[in-house]
Amino acid sequence: MIQQVPDAKGRYGDFGGRFVPETLMNALIELEQAYLHYSADEDFNAELNDLLKQYSGRETPLYHAKRLTEHFGGAKIYLKREDLNHTGAHKINNALGQGLLAVRMGKKKVIAETGAGQHGVATATVAALLGLECKVFMGEEDMHRQQLNVFRMKMLGAEVVPVISGTKTLKDAGNEALRYWVSNVQDTFYILGSAVGPHPYPLMVRNFQRVIGDETRRQILESEGRLPNTIVAAVGGGSNAIGMFYPFVHDHDVKLVGVEAAGKGIDTPLHAATMTLGTKGVFQGSMSYLLQDEYGQVQPAHSISAGLDYPGVGPEHSYLKDTKRAEYQPITDEEALDALKLLCRTEGIIPALESAHALAQAGKIAPTLGSDQLLVVCLSGRGDKDVESIMAYENKGGDAE
């Protein structure tokens, strides 16, 4: 049974909560109060909706991918084109929301963590737009993988802070952003990019991203007169997926499928299959599924996609998994690359590596469904940023990223 989540303590069943140093507790409580206040404020919502429309270019199309549908044979496939947002991915939805909130709260400085660089670019963009000082924490390894995005952020006036601790990827960028926030909590707003972290972040990010699902619902009703049978979205921390799923959670006939990164395979140590292989634990401020060893040490994740290369997952996804409202499936690096190339050639769309994981899973599901079935894939971002790492991967025969 799906309850209204989260509860007052930020809990989604067993998951979520607030596991942070005491120094941050009052800041999180203030943030929660400010968010609850402004999310019900007409002016705030009018300004956000105006920016989403005039600045980001929403609504994004729900595109019927005819040639992809023919190729897979089976369900009719629609792509929710979040890749067409200004800055190239869904991350802008949330960055705009939190950026406006930062301004309302009187903060002049924002920080963010980033993996693939999409959230960093979105935050740098919003900071430029709103006149805020911006620092983006990014793992050194990801800075190599995503050099274009590093340069974009700098062009937009942000400082990119290399993170050299731990695995030098998204998880450590998140740790470093939280450490910086502890030191600068009085004048700094942390624009967290995924539906993870301590309460109220998972709630706030989900609600700023639910525009994806709300639009999809309206658009599919317009074009088909009925709801989709299946919705597929990629899950790293899970913000595009939760934004897509949430408006459909109570439509029990709509099957929700989250897709996580299996890296080199779930039978190898090199994966990011948190839902398939993880166990419950506390990580980066909340209780959720987690890749960890028996002593509670967090295990490094692996994926060709920097945005899915994360050992944790948002608490609401863990709740949807445990209540069986959504299912979560792993897709390997190879499968994702094949799906990426397929979309390029059938539809002339270069998807992000993250989104390619969702496409690969759609390719497994679609042929099992009748042609009267509707399948929506969240195309969470575009692949321009990944072209270099795909080239490197191919040149090295699939051994590197």
380 is catalytic: yes
Per the annotation, the verdict on 327 as an active-site residue is no
Residues 115-174 interacting with another protein (rule: CB under 8 A) = 165-166, 171
Q: How far is the CB of 30 from another protein (least distance, A)?
A: 10
**Is residue 133 annotated as part of the catalytic site, yes or no?**
no
Listing from the earlier edge strand, what are the strands of the sheet with 11-12? Answer: 11-12, 15-16, 286-290, 279-283
Nearest approach, Cβ of residue 291 and another protein (Å):
11
Say if CB 378 and CB 234 are below 8 A apart. yes
At its nearest, how many Å lie between another protein and the CB of residue 21? Answer: 5
Q: Which among 103-111, 249-257, 275-283, 322-330 is the span making contact with another protein, rule CB under 8 A?
A: 275-283
Q: Is the dihedral of CA 390, 392, 397, 401 positive or negative?
A: negative
Among 4, 43, 295, 324, binds another protein (CB under 8 A): 295
Query: CA-CA distance, 348 to 383, in Å (whole number)?
Result: 12
Task: Note whether 284 binds another protein by CB under 8 A.
Answer: yes
- 252 touches another protein by CB under 8 A: no
Question: For residues 26 and 175, what is the distance between their CA atoms, to the nearest angstrom?
Answer: 19
Q: Is residue 281 near another protein by the rule CB under 8 A?
A: yes
Considering the complex, state which of residue 171 and residue 206 has its C-beta at the smaller distance from another protein: 171
* Contact criterion met (CB below 8 Å) for 271 and 231: no
324 binds another protein (CB under 8 A): no
Beta carbons of 262 and 364 less than 8 angstroms apart: no
Residue 297 is a binding residue for another protein (CB under 8 A): yes
Rounded distance between C-alpha atoms, residue 52 and residue 93, angstroms: 7
Task: Between 296 and 367, name the residue whose CB sits nearer to another protein.
Answer: 296
Q: Which is nearer to another protein, 245 or 283 (CB)?
A: 283
Half-sphere exposure of 262 (CA within 13 A, CB side): 21
Tell me how far the alpha carbon of residue 186 is from its chain's centroid. 27
Distance in Å, CB of 297 to another protein, minimum = 4
Examine residue 200 and say whether the peptide bond preceding it is cis (omega within 30 degrees of 0). Answer: yes
Contact residue for another protein among 197, 236, 278, 285 (CB under 8 A): 285
The amino acid that residue 261 corresponds to is A
Shorter beta-carbon distance to another protein: residue 284 or 355: 284
Q: 253: which residues sit within 8 A by CB, 6+ positions away?
A: 227, 229
Q: Is 182 in the site for another protein (CB under 8 A)?
A: yes
Q: Which of 91, 168, 171, 255 is catalytic?
A: 91
Count of CA atoms in the C-beta half-sphere (13 A) of 372: 0
Which one of the listed residues 82, 113, 141, 176 is annotated catalytic?
113
Burial 36-53, CB ≥16 within 10 A → b, else e: eebbeeeebeebbeebbe
User: Which of 57, 73, 296, 367: binder of another protein (CB under 8 A)?
Assistant: 296
Site residues (CB under 8 A) for another protein, limited to 13-52: 17-27
Check residue 283 for interaction with another protein (CB under 8 A): yes
List active site positions: 91, 113, 380
Tell me which residues touch another protein (CB under 8 A): 9, 17-27, 165-166, 171, 175, 178-179, 182-186, 279, 281-285, 290, 292, 294-299
